[in-house]
């Protein structure tokens, strides 16, 4: 049996066992509560039943209520545990260490702050106040530690031996455009993209949003990206999806830049604007279009090409055609050649991270 199916069956079995144990505990507590309620009032004088019958009724009622509530509590606790387990498994080790350290510091402060609450009366108010202080300061300590992860990494790097690496080497972060483009998969298979390739959770969320879009083109792009990721996760070089987010940053591209900065990773993209912004901030960017442009054959001014002019250009009298590799050729004065195959002379070549564009004119007077 495949490991995936076995793991899912074990997970379902563990969930059933946990829920049943919770039901058993709650049913037992309900039965004890029924016995306690039985002793609060002299029931035989209130209703025409013997004490033994009343005890049995209250025990059955308490057990039934505990059984029902236990099932609901058990399922919710199991769901919360599964989410927590997934979140911790997909966290960076450095983030996990920082979160635990921040939690411990917060709890130490909570221990000091909660001292005045011990004098509160009644006792239940004192207990509730102390519990709330521990929860609040523990959470605040953990969040502050995670928000300052980059500063902590920089501080520790000062004490590292000279020449030592203070971060994981070779981690590549895929953005949405690269996943939808799909060429990164072939580059990984051929070895041009080495090291560990990962996808942040917020990029996966953006893909899911695209796949649910009402626009047909956006929906098709999103589903193509999700299908490609699904196929890559089971390949020889799996792409790992991990939990990461910056709630204070609204834009996905900005989150990617911040994540690459914090983790010292590099970005894989086909987005020209993201490439420029990330490189300006000192991040290593692997733009697939750069590689594709470098591998395309060069076309020099004066060289003659044969293309089919398929549509009109943006400017008057322009015609547009494409080479076999998809390079756009803008033909000045080529509007009359629309729908025909003609020879053109290259006048200039514009090459950017967004791709390559060739400008030409008809080879013969028309």
pLDDT tens track for 174-203:
888 888 888 888 888 777 777 788 888 888
Name the residue range of residue 118's domain. Answer: 3-147
Both 10 and 142 in a single domain?
Answer: yes
Both 316 and 350 in a single domain?
Answer: yes
Check residues 234 and 347 and name the one with the higher pLDDT: 347
Both 187 and 289 in a single domain?
Answer: yes
Both 273 and 212 in a single domain?
Answer: yes
pLDDT tens track for 235-260:
667 777 877 777 778 888 888 888 88
Both 181 and 283 in a single domain?
Answer: yes
Q: How far is Cα 279 from Cα 219, in angstroms, rounded to an integer?
A: 30
Predicted local distance difference test score (pLDDT) of residue 163: 38
Q: How far is Cα 195 from Cα 170, in angstroms, rounded to an integer?
A: 5
Provide the number of structural domains found in the chain. 3
Q: How far is Cα 201 from Cα 219, in angstroms, rounded to an integer?
A: 19
Report if residue 12 sits inside a domain: yes
Report if residue 265 sits inside a domain: yes
Report if residue 224 sits inside a domain: yes
Determine the average pLDDT of the residues in 28-40: 76
Both 272 and 312 in a single domain?
Answer: no
Q: What is the CATH number of the domain that holds 273?
A: 3.40.50.1010
Going along 260-354, which residue ranges are E strands? 266-269, 285-287, 304-312, 318-322, 328-332, 341-352
Contacts 24+ apart (CB under 8 A), 92-96: 92/242, 92/244, 92/263, 94/149, 94/153, 95/146, 95/149
Predicted local distance difference test score (pLDDT) of residue 325: 66
Report if residue 8 sits inside a domain: yes
Nearest partner of 354 among 276, 266, 251, 255, judged by Cα: 276
Determine the average pLDDT of the residues in 279-284: 87
Q: How far is Cα 15 from Cα 242, in angstroms, rounded to an integer?
A: 24
Which two three-digit tokens encode residue 148? 């300052």
Predicted local distance difference test score (pLDDT) of residue 364: 67
Both 335 and 272 in a single domain?
Answer: no
Q: How far is Cα 236 from Cα 135, in angstroms, rounded to an integer?
A: 44
User: Mean of the per-residue pLDDT values for the chain?
Assistant: 78
Q: Are strands 240-242 and 197-200 parallel, antiparallel or unpaired?
A: parallel
Both 279 and 194 in a single domain?
Answer: yes
Q: Is 145 helix (H, G, I), strand (E, B) or coil?
A: helix
Report if residue 167 sits inside a domain: no
Report if residue 180 sits inside a domain: yes
pTM attached to this predicted model: 0.43
pLDDT tens track for 101-119:
888 988 898 888 888 887 7
Angle CA 26–29–32, to nearest 5: 155
Q: How far is Cα 144 from Cα 99, in angstroms, rounded to an integer?
A: 9
Q: List phi, psi (to 5°) of 345.
A: -105, 130
Confidence of residue 94 (pLDDT cuts 50, 70, 90): low
Q: What is the CATH number of the domain that holds 317?
A: 2.40.50.140
Determine the average pLDDT of the residues in 320-327: 80
Check residues 334 and 159 and name the one with the higher pLDDT: 334
Both 235 and 305 in a single domain?
Answer: no
Predicted local distance difference test score (pLDDT) of residue 153: 55
Q: List phi, psi (to 5°) of 82.
A: -60, -40
Angle CA 115–121–127, to nearest 5: 55
Confidence of residue 90 (pLDDT cuts 50, 70, 90): low
Predicted local distance difference test score (pLDDT) of residue 2: 42
pLDDT tens track for 124-177:
788 888 888 888 888 888 878 777 665 655 555 444 444 334 344 458 888 888
């Amino acid at each position: 049996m495949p490991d995936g199916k076995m793991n899912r069956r074990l997970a379902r079995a563990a969930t059933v066992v946990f829920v049943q144990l919770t039901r058993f505990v709650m049913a037992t507590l309900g039965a004890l509560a029924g016995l306690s309620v039985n002793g609060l009032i002299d029931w035989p004088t209130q209703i025409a039943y013997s004490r033994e019958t009343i005890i049995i009724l209250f025990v059955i009622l308490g057990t039934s209520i505990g059984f029902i509530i236990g099932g609901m509590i058990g399922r919710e606790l199991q769901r919360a545990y599964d989410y927590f387990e997934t979140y911790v498994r997909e966290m960076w080790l450095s983030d996990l260490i920082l979160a635990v350290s921040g939690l411990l510091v917060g709890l130490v402060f909570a221990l000091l702050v909660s001292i005045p609450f011990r004098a509160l009366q009644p006792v239940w108010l004192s207990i509730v106040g102390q519990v709330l202080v521990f929860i609040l300061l523990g959470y605040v300590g953990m969040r502050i530690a995670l928000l300052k992860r980059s500063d902590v990494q920089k501080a520790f790097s000062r004490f590292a031996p000279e020449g030592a690496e203070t971060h994981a080497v070779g981690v590549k972060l895929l953005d949405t455009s690269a996943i939808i483009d799909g060429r990164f998969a072939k580059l990984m298979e051929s070895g041009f993209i080495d090291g560990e390739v990962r996808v942040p959770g917020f990029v996966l969320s953006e893909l899911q949003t695209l796949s649910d879009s009402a626009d047909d083109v956006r929906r098709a792009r999103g589903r193509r990206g999700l299908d490609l990721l699904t196929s890559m996760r089971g390949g020889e070089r799996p792409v790992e999806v991990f939990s990461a987010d910056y709630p204070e940053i609204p834009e996905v591209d900005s989150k990617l830049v911040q994540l690459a900065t914090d983790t010292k990773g590099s970005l894989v993209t086909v987005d020209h604007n993201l490439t420029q912004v990330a490189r300006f901030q000192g991040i290593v960017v692997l733009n697939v279009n750069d590689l594709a442009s470098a591998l395309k054959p060069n076309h020099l001014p004066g060289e003659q090409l044969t293309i089919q002019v398929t549509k009109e250009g943006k400017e008057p009298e322009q015609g547009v055609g494409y080479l076999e590799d998809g390079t756009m050729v803008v033909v000045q004065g080529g509007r009359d050649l629309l729908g025909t195959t003609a020879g053109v002379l290259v006048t200039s070549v514009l090459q950017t991270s967004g791709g390559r564009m060739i400008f030409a004119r008809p080879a013969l007077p028309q």
